[in-house]
Every structure is written in C-alpha cells, then in structure tokens.
Amino acid sequence: MGRDPELEARIESFELAFRMQTEAPELLDLTGESPLTQKLYGLDDKTTEVFGRQCLLARRFAEAGVRFVQCSHSYWDSHSKLKSQHPELAAQTDKPIAGLLRDLKARGLLDETLVIWGGEFGRTPMNEERGGSKLLGRDHHPHCFSIWMAGGGIKKGFNFGETDEIGNLIVKDKMPVRDLQATVLHLMGMDPHKFSYKYQGLNQRLIGPAEDPKVRMEIIA
C-alpha cells in the first residue's frame, strides 16, 4: 500500500502537538530570566507587566525557533475618551515593545526577526455620532492607518506614505494591504505569487487571486 497523504498529515500534526506540550512548559518559565531583563520588559510594574510578559515570551519563542509569534493587547478599541484612554494604553505597551526590540538586537536576533506592529483599522480624523446617541467618537477608518516594522530586512529610520493634512486620505506612496502581505512573504523568503495552499479544492494565495499585488522594494533594505 502507498502512503496516505491525509493520514501522514494528521500524524504529523499530532506529533507537533506532542512536541509543543513537552517543550512549552520550559519556554513559559520566566524564572531563569535575570531581574535586569525582566525590568527591561516592564515586568516589575503593574502597568506594563501583562503586555511585557507577552513580549518577553515572544523573544523566548523566537530564540527557540518558533517561526510566527503574535502579541495582542487585551483591549485597544477605544472610539471615544481618546485623551484619557490612549495615554493609558500607550503606557501599557511602549516600554515592553522597546524592551523587545532592544533585547532582540542585543542577542543578534533582530536582523533575522521581522517585527510588525499594527491594529485592525485606523480611526476617522473627525468626531462622529455613534449609534444615534449623543456620544461622539471616532469610527473605523480603513482608508489610511499607520503600522511600523523593524528588523528582518526592513529599511531603518524612514517613513513611507503620506496622508492629507487631516489624515483622511492617502496622497503619496499608497501601500495596499496585499502589497504589504506580498512584501512580508518576500522578506520571509517566499515567492508571494507562487506560495499557495489548498482550500475547498482550489489553490488559494495569501495575496488573493489577482496578479496586481507586488513586493514593494522601496521599504526593503
């Protein structure tokens, strides 16, 4: 009998799950990290401790060879009360993120690790009435928003793209999401136009079916 690809794939997934279960406890144990390192990520401060723990674990995972790591803030979806909420939320994340970048660089990992920071949307530049109530806030705005990237072959210390004076529309160097996806895949050593996966009998691509998405060499070092 020949090998059954579906059965082999199922066995591989179980073996991967077993390896994760046996190795994860050691990776999740931060007691071996020095007090100086824990302080670098803000684990000594209640304000930064939760997100700092995620960032420190991200460095440990990257160091152990985990290919993809995601850190998520527990809640950053403020539409109103921006003046009071954004400084508070920024205070929870800024120090841990800075600590992660410094630690990766000090360990020689930043050049081979692509760090991407972003959210789900931008926010409209004007106040809007929400849900027919008198509460004014800023709504979801998909037309322009900012992310930043570091390490992993990205150019250092420059901005790409500009909006109009109120941050409503892009006026220079537009970066479509699929171009960004294509560029990230390229930085990971993949051809974004050939990289595909089977789903419901079809070959699907992360950048979509069209040929338009392209690698943006302008942001690559």
Q: Got the DSSP string for 82-130?
A: HHHHHHHHHHHHHHHHHHHHHHHHHTT-GGG--EEE--S-EE-SS-EE-
Residue range 168-192: mean pLDDT, rounded = 93
* Dist CA 22 CA 19 (whole Å): 5
* Average pLDDT estimate for 17-37: 87
Q: Render pLDDT for 113-159 as a digit per residue (tens, 0 to 9).
A: 999 999 888 888 888 776 666 566 788 888 999 999 999 999 999 99
In DSSP terms, 196 is beta-bridged to 205
Residue with the two structure tokens 């302008």 = 218
Burial environment of residue 95 by CB neighbours within 10 A (0 to 12, 13 to 18, 19 or more): buried
Strands (E), the chain: 115-117, 122-123, 128-129, 136-137, 140-141, 148-150, 162-163, 170-172, 196-199, 202-205
pLDDT average, residue stretch 169-192: 93
Radius of gyration of the chain, Cα coordinates, nearest whole angstrom: 21
For 87, the token pair is: 């400084």
The pTM of the full predicted model, rounded to 2 decimals, is 0.83
| CA separation for the pair 168, 3 (Å, rounded) | 56
Two tokens at 213?
């998405």
Q: Are 161 and 172 contacting, i.e. CB atoms less than 8 angstroms apart?
A: yes
Higher pLDDT, 81 or 96: 96
Cβ neighbours around 212 below 10 Å, total: 11
- Mean pLDDT (the chain, rounded): 89
- For residues 54 and 71, the answer to whether their CB atoms sit within 8 Å is yes
